[in-house]
Amino acid sequence: MPVLIVQGKTDIQVDSSDAAKLAAANPHAQLQFIDSMNHVLKNTVIDRNENLKTYFNPALPLAERLIPILVRFIYSKR
């Protein structure tokens, strides 16, 4: 089964090394890092207080780089 692992580099809940470990467990998995994306898939900074504000703001859009990554993965597996 195709596997895509997407990790935001400003995620304050899950570390990038965890995503790397997941990818290492499945050599066929695709691993993508998104620089400014956090755990709730929003663009933000690493500062904890600013980061947490995105958790409660549904008006914020998803990280810009996320959708193209998802679309490319889905269409490559058709």
Residue with tokens 């998995």: 29
More confident residue, 76 or 78: 76
Q: What share of the chain is helix, strand, coil (3-state, %, to 5)?
A: 40, 15, 45
d(CA 74, CA 30): 12
pTM, rounded to two decimals: 0.90
pLDDT of residue 59: 97
Residue with tokens 């620089």: 35
Phi, psi of 76 (to 5 degrees): -75, -15
pLDDT of residue 77: 73
pLDDT in tens, 1-48: 899 999 999 999 999 999 999 999 999 999 999 999 999 999 999 999
